[in-house]
Amino acid sequence: MDFTLSPEIESLRLKVRAFVSEHVIPLESQASAYDAHENLNEAAVAELRRLAKAQGLWAFQMPHTLGGLEVGVQGMAALYEEAARSPFGPLAFHCAAPDDGNMILLNKILKTDAEKQRWLVPLINGEVRSAFAMTEPEGGCGSDPSLTYTRAEKHGDVWRINGRKWFITGAEGAQTFILIARTSNEDRRQLTAFLFDAQQPGWRIERRIPIMGPEEHGGHCELVFENLEIPDQNRLLNVGDGLKVTQIRLGTARLTHCMRWLGLAKRCMEIAAEYTRERMSFGIPLAQHEGVQWMLGDVAKNIHTGRLLTMHAAWKLDQGDFARKEISMAKIHVADTLHQAADTAIQLCGAKGYSRDTLLEWIYRYARQARLVDGASEIHKMVLSRAYLEEGADFFRWGC
């Protein structure tokens, strides 16, 4: 495959880069631009979005017919990475999690125009936020979805939901929820996916779970369902297709995480390079010490490997393939690389790296979730091992 970007994507990439430099990075050092959860406050996000929309830099992942730029997954890989040169860039262009993954899913599986207008268009326009509720506390769904205990029982034309979910990103203040619940005990057909609105009675946010890193808007919440009623018409795909819905969502969403994490990892290098070029140690700049070069060189190599894995998986998705193995490899590698990049940059910036005078400590705390969200690294290794044992030498075949 050829990694050259088309002239259209390259031109968009340069615009995104200029936008992030001009409008987003200056906000990082303004205390007044932050909310109580170390994210940008609503006013700052609204202004960034107004500017991004005015420049035509909005919703790269959505179809033209619904107001997006429809750049394809490879185009997204180039643009999301550039957007995430600042952790707040993806919010500006509307390619941040979890709305990004939810929009991609709904665009793929909602069938009628009326359904898209009802659930998807307000989300694309940025009028509402969304959440995806699957993981459960206390013995329920985590790495193993077959443990799901939140049940949906059918009464006439209505599904009644009872159970509990947790770590649901963005739940506080979200309008549109995608919920995965158990509808049967039939193997691989146990789960079904539903849509519901925040205003529907029968569910509540028990708590916003405190975490070690900065938070996405709406936090990571624990939800309780007590007889939430969802009309059958708000079911996604068929009864028993919940796992399929999850796979459709998580496939691309895992890869878009990688695209953004690569942007953040590159930013860590940028900060470390600036410091080590200037800071003197034993008569020469830090960057001229071989030990420092090995550290920076190793991160550079791992970022490049992550970009190849991510772009290859993106290319496969653009060919209509599910790219399961490729996405798992990218997810494992890029999560580790983001962590390594932040850690190395902190080390190279010395005490300053550990301070809040740079963005590095923010990125370091945020990076720890990368090895857990959307499947722990061990689960992705399990997926790869299973595929290898099944395919043997074919696992490494060329041409696909």
Ligand X SMILES: Cc1cc2nc3c(=O)[nH]c(=O)nc-3n(C[C@H](O)[C@H](O)[C@H](O)COP(=O)(O)OP(=O)(O)OC[C@H]3O[C@@H](n4cnc5c(N)ncnc54)[C@H](O)[C@@H]3O)c2cc1C
Tell me which residues touch ligand X (CB under 6 A). 98, 132-135, 142-143, 167-169, 211, 220, 369, 372-376, 378-379, 382
Q: Using CB atoms within 10 A of its CB, is residue 112 exposed (0-12), middle (13-18) or buried (19+)?
A: exposed
The angle subtended at Cα 123 by Cα 118 and Cα 124, nearest 5°, is 110
CB of 229 to ligand X, least distance (A): 21
Question: How far is residue 255 from each of residues 80, 94, 258, measured CA to CA in Å?
Answer: 10, 16, 5
Q: Are 171 and 131 in contact (CB under 8 A)?
A: yes
Token pair of 345 as six digits = 């940059």
Q: Are 59 and 220 in contact (CB under 8 A)?
A: no
Question: Would you say 171 or 262 has its CB closer to ligand X?
Answer: 171
Provide the CB-side half-sphere exposure for 297 (13 A, CA). 8
Report the SS3 class of residue 346. helix
Q: Using CB atoms within 10 A of its CB, is residue 396 exposed (0-12), middle (13-18) or buried (19+)?
A: exposed
Q: Which residue has the tokens 């850690």?
A: 343
Token pair of 210 as six digits = 């405190």
CB of 369 to ligand X, least distance (A): 4
Longest alpha-carbon distance in the chain: 80
**Looking at the DSSP assignment, which residues form a beta bridge with residue 165?**
223
CB of 142 to ligand X, least distance (A): 2
Question: Would you say 360 or 373 has its CB closer to ligand X?
Answer: 373
CB of 363 to ligand X, least distance (A): 14
Angle between helices 324-348 and 360-367 (to 10 degrees): 140
Question: Would you say 307 or 333 has its CB closer to ligand X?
Answer: 333
Question: Would you say 168 or 228 has its CB closer to ligand X?
Answer: 168
Question: Would you say 146 or 293 has its CB closer to ligand X?
Answer: 146
Question: Would you say 74 or 130 has its CB closer to ligand X?
Answer: 130
Q: Which residue has the tokens 């770590």?
A: 167
CB of 66 to ligand X, least distance (A): 23
Cβ of 38: how many Cβ atoms within 10 Å?
13
Q: Are 115 and 50 in contact (CB under 8 A)?
A: no
CB of 131 to ligand X, least distance (A): 6
Question: Would you say 133 or 338 has its CB closer to ligand X?
Answer: 133
CB of 168 to ligand X, least distance (A): 5
Q: Which residue is nearest to ligand X (CB)?
A: 142
Question: Would you say 102 or 234 has its CB closer to ligand X?
Answer: 102
DSSP for residue 34: B
CB of 102 to ligand X, least distance (A): 9
